[in-house]
Amino acid sequence: MASNGAADGFTTPNVLQAMLTMRGGDSSTKKAAMDYLQNFQKSNQAWTTTISILQGSPEAEAQLFAATTLKGKITYDLATQIPESEHAALRNQILVLLKKFASGPKPVRVQLCVCLAILAIQMQSWKDVLQTVVGALGDDVSSHACILDFLRVLPEEVTEGRKITLSEEELIQRTSELLAENANEVVGLLINYAQSSPAAATNPQLFECISSWLREVPVSVVVNSPLLDAVINGLSNDKSLQAAAECLGIICRETRDVDDNLETIQALLPKVLQLRPRIQALSDEEDVEGFKAITRVFADAGDSWVLLCAREPQHFRPLVDALLECCARDKERDAIHYTFSFWYELKQYVTLDHYIQARVQLLDVYSKLVDILLKQLEYPESDDPNEFDLFDGDREQEEKFREFRHHMGDTMKDACQVMGTTECLTKVHEAIKIWREKFGGQATESAVPHWQSLEAPLFALRALGRLVDKEENIVLPEIMPLLVQIPINNEKLRFAAIMVFGRYTEWTSAHPDYLQPQLSYVLASFQTSSQEILRAAAQSFKYFCVDCKHLLGPQAIELQGFYNSILDTLSDHSKEDLTEGVATVISVQKTEDIYSLLKLYCDPLVQRLMTKANNATDDTSNLELADHINLLTLYVQNVVPYWPSNSDNPAVRYWQEVFPILATILDNFIDFVPICERICRCWRFMVISYRTAITPLLGPLANKLAEGFAKSKQGCFLWASSAILREFSEDREHVEDGIVDSIYGFFEAQATNVLRMMSDIAPIDLPDVIEDFYRLLIDALLYYPQRLIPSALFTPIFQAAISALSLEKQEPVSAALHYLRDLLTYGGDNPASSNQQFGAVGPQLRQHVRQLLLNQGEALIKQTLAGMMITFPRDCFGDGSGVLLGMFEILPAETSTWVDRTIRMLPAGTITDAEANKLMAKINEKLQGGDRSNLRHVRTLLQDFTNTYRRRYIAPRDGLGMLTAARFHFEG
């Protein structure tokens, strides 16, 4: 095997040997083999070698590799490596190979069909594609599978295919030639095939073909042809059931525009309804996959015709009833989810006044649906009432069931909105009463019989919480006293009851008589060893504190004893829930009590913090320390008392005492990123929560942020700095001029440090720092434009932003683009500033920006276009085109020149001179006359061009060449 990848080394024996090495060699030889095969796939010699392997190798794996390689060659290298005069010879070779592999292996045959389809798309001189393929493969039975595969992949490759080197106009023309002009002939071929034999009529490939061509063939043509009966009959055959069900579902979905397809729907409806007996049959046979398929058919029909179900509820009632039967007979609960979107969409219509009559007629359907859902919500039964592992240890299956229940809960809410909350709650109440009457007397401290039928209505009650008004006084007053009697020894029931209490805390705040029994039930649950119960209890406690904070205010001191005693037994998430709850209660206390309450609650936390810091010796204990800092942050976020601006804020007074402790921890753990991030987050929220009241802490805080970034090079310090920049800007009230000067000096020091770092380290190694830096700069430009724009840092910041555009990660690129877009507004008449009144400074700022763009604009255009065509993540396209629009608005002639130069730098073979000239002619045409509205058209032209280029773009094998971003250098 030629290790250097030279062309003379890409022989058939060498390629086969490399494949053998990939199967059984050691890691170093495998890597060498992989590199060899990758170089082989890019080489010119790959054309002949792959065909040679397909013609002679008996190994299926080698054949599949060769077919896949050939597909890649046609996709990426046809235009540059094979002269157009040889395209027909290549087509004929593929047809011969298809004939050879007509009987299999199927993966090789399918890949060859894809090869032929991609070649057909690009070979524009080949006009009789269908006739050529059918004629070449012949009419013998062994070729039918081959023809069907080709017919299936052709529309897929044309409409959803790989990157191809055709212009948008050429692709539209080719799509019409290959699909629209062949649609009728394909339908005829499929009808003839379906009628050729009973085996052909139930061949899954037939239905896959119909599905593929339904994008091109009017659905009415298929419905009014013998193909529909073939599809319906295919649903009665085990071999073709899945493919036929998918096909019929697509047929139904193609009629979604019901007003345009009324006749087609009237023909389809009876055909679909005649399948209803299959629901019971497949359920009785316990054919899970078959039942899912038939349910999917009815669900697709219902989703597609849901508007008609609302318009004509009587006529479409059989379809609605069939969907209800699918829900009821789904023993394995694997199919019911297909119906959820139908019940939701139908609810959306029938709850409108316009369809009130349909709502009346369908009330009983939704009532039955609630009964079905209450049954389907139940956990599986077990012989042992104390057995809670009902999935035989299969945690994945249990998690799937839990997720499924939440989706069912959403459908329960849909039914509730149709029926009304009182009626729906009454059904839940009835289910609870039925369990009490049947099994309540049998419940003991050690066992609760058939607890599943009690837990399900509790789950439903929880799901309905969002819809129930807090003034509801009919059903809930009867249910709530029952829930506090739920046996606490049954973990599932206790969990469900706690979650219900947490869901209805708004209702409880309006009915304070129910607060204490519910809260006592929840607090008692903290004594359990079950982590699931503890999580539920902590979450519910938080909601009680948030929604009933004024009712719990008198218990603030009492709650601290409970909080302090229970905190260390909880998981991190539950600690945060508990902390957020008590912090909310503190927040509504008298302002003069805030300092003492913060001391009462937080001093023990600070003591724990210092203990953890002293004992932290490894990553695990460091992370525990970091997570503990979050608890203090929750107090900072929630305890924000109103206090006159000329007085000391009591909360700030307390945090001044805590700040030196956090600063010391930061110094000691400056190399541990999570601790840096948590402390920066805490300090950031101090600034956001207390705003200018944080002034007494401002000096030491800014110093620690600057010092921390200089030592750690972590973006979190920039993130925290941005909060200071915002809150202490020049247009804020109660901010002294000296403080503003100091804050801007602090920003410049931070920016200088970042620029030095970006000069020394490649952008690819600094994505988080770059993101946080440009988020900081967005704030600096917004609040301090008259200081930033004339500064010496303005140009290097701009150059660094251009360098950052070479990244392929969304967050830093997006941040840099947002900064650039804001900056460009200062070159026009509508700057993105917090203060539009610049006075005499305004024209000077505008001139500074324009001069910068004249000097650096070409680099910006080059990197932005390169990003939009090649490197940008998809979410950055809009901002990229926004930068181009901004440049055209400020410097239209220069920007047009720079765009022209940039597209001429694209890798050879990816764009023709004619295409480049055509684009530039359109751009220059739009720029004529000075009509600014035409600039939007220029933006659209560039978006279409870059999208088309990206679709067909082939990554250069040796980098981006002339479009490679220049390395940023900073000498400040």
* Residue 364 pLDDT exceeds 70: yes
* Residue 542 pLDDT exceeds 60: yes
> What single-letter amino acid sits at 57?
S
CB under 8 Å to 261, separation ≥6 — which residues? 219, 220, 254, 255
Give pLDDT, residue 57.
75
- Spatial separation of the C-alpha atoms in residues 787 and 878, rounded to whole Å: 29
Give pLDDT, residue 387.
61
Give pLDDT, residue 7.
46
Q: Which DSSP category does 202 fall into?
A: T
* Residue 732 pLDDT exceeds 70: no
* Residue 2 pLDDT exceeds 60: no
Burial 691-705 (b: 16+ CB within 10 A, else e): bbbbbbbbeebbebb
Of all helices (H) and strands (E), which one includes residue 919?
A: helix 913-927
Query: How many Cβ atoms are within 10 Å of 634's Cβ, its own excluded?
Result: 22
What count of residues does the chain have?
Answer: 972
Share of the chain above pLDDT 70, in %: 93
Mean pLDDT of the chain: 89
Q: Which of 488, 492, 490, 489 is nearest to 458 (CA)?
A: 492
Greatest mean pLDDT range, 576-590, 687-701, 713-727: 576-590
Q: Which two tokens stand for residue 647?
A: 């007085």
Residue pLDDT, tens place only, 506-528: 999 999 999 999 999 999 999 98
Helices of type H across 285-316: 288-311
Give pLDDT, residue 957.
45
Greatest mean pLDDT range, 290-294, 733-737, 912-916: 290-294
- Across the range 908-924, mean pLDDT stands at 81
- Across the range 122-128, mean pLDDT stands at 89
Give pLDDT, residue 942.
86
- Spatial separation of the C-alpha atoms in residues 337 and 350, rounded to whole Å: 21
Please tell me the least confidently modeled range out of 26-30, 256-260, 349-353, 586-590: 26-30
- Spatial separation of the C-alpha atoms in residues 200 and 193, rounded to whole Å: 6
* Residue 233 pLDDT exceeds 80: yes
Give pLDDT, residue 383.
63
- Across the range 254-267, mean pLDDT stands at 94
Give pLDDT, residue 21.
83
- Spatial separation of the C-alpha atoms in residues 605 and 629, rounded to whole Å: 9
More confident residue, 932 or 35: 35
* pLDDT grade for 284, boundaries at 50, 70 and 90: very high
Query: How many Cβ atoms are within 10 Å of 105's Cβ, its own excluded?
Result: 14
Q: What is the DSSP string of 408-464?
A: HHHHHHHHHHHH-HHHHHHHHHHHHHHHHHHHGGG--SS--TTTHHHHHHHHHHHHG
Please tell me the least confidently modeled range out of 314-323, 577-586, 690-699: 690-699
* Residue 94 pLDDT exceeds 60: yes
Phi, psi (deg, nearest 5) at residue 762: -65, 145
SS3 957: strand
Long-range contacts of 553-561 (CB under 8 A, 24+ apart): 553/585, 553/588, 553/589, 555/585, 556/582, 556/585, 556/586, 556/589, 556/597, 557/600, 559/585, 560/600, 560/601
* Residue 248 pLDDT exceeds 70: yes
**Distances in Å between the alpha carbon of 130 and those of 110, 118, 181, 772?**
17, 14, 10, 56
Give pLDDT, residue 432.
94
- Across the range 201-205, mean pLDDT stands at 91
Residue pLDDT, tens place only, 804-845: 999 989 999 999 999 999 999 998 888 877 565 666 677 888
Give pLDDT, residue 349.
96
Give pLDDT, residue 919.
86
Q: What is the DSSP string of 112-128?
A: HHHHHHHHHHH-TT---
Q: Which two tokens stand for residue 388?
A: 């809670």
* pLDDT grade for 170, boundaries at 50, 70 and 90: confident
More confident residue, 44 or 639: 639
Radius of gyration of the chain (CA): 35
Q: Which of 610, 601, 516 is nearest to 567 (CA)?
A: 601
* Residue 605 pLDDT exceeds 50: yes
Give pLDDT, residue 5.
40
Preceding omega of 696 cis (within 30 degrees of 0): no
* Residue 636 pLDDT exceeds 60: yes
* pLDDT grade for 704, boundaries at 50, 70 and 90: very high
* CA quadruple 469, 584, 690, 747: dihedral sign: negative
Residue pLDDT, tens place only, 415-471: 999 999 999 999 999 999 999 998 888 877 778 888 899 999 999 999 999 999 999
> What single-letter amino acid sits at 441?
G
- Across the range 216-229, mean pLDDT stands at 93
Greatest mean pLDDT range, 57-71, 141-155, 249-263, 861-875: 249-263
Residue pLDDT, tens place only, 654-703: 999 999 999 999 999 999 999 999 999 999 999 999 988 898 998 999 99
Q: Which two tokens stand for residue 197?
A: 């034999």
* Residue 952 pLDDT exceeds 80: no
* Residue 1 pLDDT exceeds 70: no
